[in-house]
Amino acid sequence: SAVISQKPSRDICQRGTSLTIQCQVDSQVTMMFWYRQQPGQSLTLIATANQGSEATYESGFVIDKFPISRPNLTFSTLTVSNMSPEDSSIYLCSVQRDRGREDTQYFGPGTRLTVL
């Protein structure tokens, strides 16, 4: 398995501001992903964080709104930019250790964001 930590665990922010969420893994992993879970909803994949290149975004998500960095194989950040109340969600990081293999995706504890 993988031990994943996220910072902050929760935050309350004002509209129009930005928040950067950190995801740290205890060992090197090949794949890192960012998901959003809106209140009472399921999880939706935002993007795949690629080490050394731009993230791959899913339909409906854009880099200007959700810039992602992945400087190495154990760390990634997701920024929620110019926030509005609709961005209030839980944001989860997930990792997969190996690429191209039948490996499990493990999830971090999530960051609970409230935008006022």
Partner 1 sequence: AQSVTQPDIHITVSEGASLELRCNYSYGATPYLFWYVQSPGQGLQLLLKYFSGDTLVQGIKGFEAEFKRSQSSFNLRKPSVHWSDAAEYFCAVGATGAGSYQLTFGKGTKLSVIP
3-state secondary structure the chain: CCCEEEECCEEEECCCCCEEEEEEECCCCCEEEEEEECCCCCEEEEEEECCCCCCEECCCCCCCCCCEEEEECCEEEEEECCCCHHHCEEEEEEEECCCCCCCCEEECCCEEEEEC
The residue (of 24 and 48) whose beta carbon lies closer to partner 1 is: 48
14 or 42: whose CB is closer to partner 1?
A: 42
User: Is the CB of 85 or the CB of 101 nearer to partner 1?
Assistant: 101
Q: What minimum distance in Å lies between the beta carbon of 43 and partner 1? A: 5
What residues make contact with partner 1 under the rule CB under 8 A?
4, 30-31, 33, 41-45, 48, 92, 94, 96, 99-100, 102, 104-110, 112
What is the smallest separation between the CB atom of 17 and partner 1, expressed in angstroms? 24
